Amino acid sequence: MPSAGLLFQALASGVFLGSLYGLIGLGIGLGWGLLRQINLAHFAWVFLSAYITYELKTRLGVDPLLSLLLLVPVFAALGMAVQSLLMRFAITPFNSLLVTFGMTVSVEALLQWIWSADYRRMASLYEEHKFRLGSVVVTYSETITFCLSLLLAGLVWWLLKKTDVGKSVRACAEDPEIATAFGINAKRLSIWLAGLCAGLAACAGVCVALMFTLAPSQIFTWVGVIFAAVMIGRLGSALTPLIGGLVIGIIESMTMALIAPTWAPLVAFMVLILILLLRRSDE
């Protein structure tokens, strides 16, 4: 019988990992739901940001949180540039999957060229420092990831629900022609939204660098679980990717602690299928 300590530690581990799933899924879900693009390059931006964070910290001693000041605007600009390109060539949603897959492969090759295929780990005080919540040990890096995920999900929710820009974005996603008829510049909005998604990827990249060992090939190991988190939620929503991420993360961790680590992905994806089936029968 597992101890209470083991259970609570596994629960905490699931919550923190799930919040990172949610943070990565937030950008994917927004792009998918509001821009109608399945943007696989989002994973490439996350890892590119993680490697730059690693480089800034290792070479120049820049605090990972301070590097956000540089990374967010740079990645936002990158996302906007890519979106302009996609719009210029009128890429369809399905083709966006192929094009962004190509970008991801290119970024993987770039990472391997610059940092080699070997594993990199960023030494950081945030990972070394920890505190206890009862019997549960929590590192600063996990706390930062959790808080950043909550903060950004809340911010995006506020932006979409409470501001005119957000309402315009939702209107464009629902019916672009009518929205344009009401004077909304759909093209400009979608470029700004792509910038926001890439900025979110930059934030997630910092968290990945804080919590994980980096290798270029790991880009693709995140795809399945993040898509599961996004699909558990609702496309284009600000809060549901976080909820989906937490569900997947907690299920994975508890399965590892109570049953066996090999069962974790299986159980998580079975829950996803179950949720999708139940949701379909509700409709």
Number of residues that bind other proteins (CB under 8 A): 42
When binding is defined by CB under 8 A, the residue of 85, 98, 109, 278 that contacts other proteins is: 109
Q: Per-residue contact track with other proteins, 210 to 249, x per CB under 8 A?
A: --xx-xxxx--xx--------------------------x
For the bound state, the minimum distance from the C-beta of residue 248 to other proteins, rounded and expressed in Å, comes to 11
Instruction: Kindly state whether residue 184 participates in binding other proteins, applying the rule CB under 8 A.
Output: no
Q: Please, which of residues 118-177 interact with other proteins by CB under 8 A?
A: 118-121, 127, 130, 137, 139
How far is Cα of residue 126 from the mean position of the Cα atoms in its chain? 20
Among 196, 205, 252, 272, binds other proteins (CB under 8 A): 252
Q: Nearest approach, Cβ of 257 to other proteins (angstroms)?
A: 4
Q: How far is the CB of 221 from other proteins (least distance, A)?
A: 5
Residue whose CB is less far from other proteins, 180 or 218: 218
Burial class (CB in 10 A: 0-12, 13-18, 19+), 275: middle
Write the CB contacts of 71 (distance below 8 Å, at least 6 apart in sequence).
49, 52, 53, 202, 203, 205, 206
Q: Is 112 in the site for other proteins (CB under 8 A)?
A: yes
Name which position in 55, 91, 115, 180 contacts other proteins (CB under 8 A): 115
Q: Which residues bind other proteins (CB under 8 A)?
A: 2-3, 5-6, 9-10, 13-14, 17, 108-109, 112, 115-121, 127, 130, 137, 139, 212-213, 215-218, 221-222, 249, 252-254, 256-257, 260-262, 264-265
